[in-house]
Amino acid sequence: MSNEPSHMSWGAELLWEQLQPLMPGISIEVVARADSTNSQLIDRARMFSGRRDQPVTIPGALELQDRDEHSPHGRRTGDTHPCLLVAESQTRGRGRHGRNWQSSTGASLTFSLAVALSPRDWSGLSLAVGVALAEALEAVPGAGGPAIGLKWPNDLWLMDAPGSGRKLGGVLIETVMVGSRRMAIVGVGLNVAPQPTRDLSSGYACLQERQPGVDAPAALHQVAAPLAAALLLFEREGFAAFAGRFAQRDLLRGQPITTTLPQVPAGVADGVGEDGSLRVRVGQGADAAVQLVSSGDVSVRIDGN
């Protein structure tokens, strides 16, 4: 982790006061620069597990056996305390499938929240996180403009028209075992301010289009507590608690899409299943069928975008 001091005023003490009742023992750290906040927290979790090669997985691809027989006994309970790590800029930020997620000081909000969770079913976690973030960002009084839509499985878009918009942010969730508990590392990247035009297939949107003058610390204060509350709700009730709310923001529903899966090359998005998997309607009339696409194994693009 970088030892450089933060150059922005983040109000970490106030943030801690908001999060401590939800996640007792949480620590909040802000650094000026990091390679990747997710990578930093994963490295710590691996260190606490006693295995530098501890496998990292995404919620949609968890092994059935969660108990790590190689972890040391007699671990300190503090090893799995939650941690919120914020980086004013990331040099090697990661998105889904290892894609680069660029960020720059002042124009982006990049952070990761590590917390031990034990839901009955991890399916749909990225969708639940997206719902929490979108709702929190739209809850600001006087924030007008287009609504925030969710593009399955992990992107937030600023909507310009039904089924059309530009990418506002993204979510990357990874997990790693620490002793007998699984730590979820929830990484969030949000565009806050305008930046030079980039070669992005999904376009570029930023929070200041909805909230003129908002900065990265203010955006963090908007989303941190709702995100923590959503993770705890997901742990108790799973994706069912978020399914209806996701449906209201489902960017893909009813849109012609293509996927990278050979068995589902193209179709029409038809919402999501009970486990958060994408429903794709393939064919027409009597030959129509619905295929389920699970999170983490496919890149979905709206036709024409």
pLDDT tens across 49-61, in order?
A: 666 667 777 776 6
E strands within 78-215?
Answer: 83-90, 108-117, 148-151, 155-161, 164-178, 181-191
Report, as an integer, the average pLDDT of 243-265.
Answer: 91
pLDDT tens across 84-136, in order?
A: 999 998 886 555 545 555 667 789 999 999 999 999 999 999 999 999 999 99
- Write down the domain spans for the chain: 12-247, 256-302
| 25 pLDDT higher than 60 | yes
Report, as an integer, the average pLDDT of 267-272.
Answer: 94
For residues 231, 235, 241 and 243, what is the CA-based torsion angle, rounded to 10 degrees? 80
| 275 pLDDT higher than 90 | yes
Q: What CA–CA distance (Å, rounded) separates 133 from 151?
A: 13
Between 284 and 100, the more confident residue is 284
Report, as an integer, the average pLDDT of 273-281.
Answer: 95
How many C-beta atoms surround the C-beta of residue 290 within 10 A?
A: 14
Name the CATH code of domain 12-247 (choices 3.30.930.10, 3.90.230.10, 3.20.20.70, 2.60.120.260): 3.30.930.10
> What rounded mean pLDDT belongs to the chain?
84
Angle at 260 between CA 255 and CA 263, to 5 degrees: 90
- Residue 2: the pLDDT is 38
Between 165 and 128, the more confident residue is 128
Q: Which of these ranges, 28-32, 40-44, 144-148, 211-215, has the smallest mean pLDDT? A: 144-148
Q: What is the pTM of this model?
A: 0.87
Between 18 and 5, the more confident residue is 18
What percentage of the chain has pLDDT greater than the value 90? 57
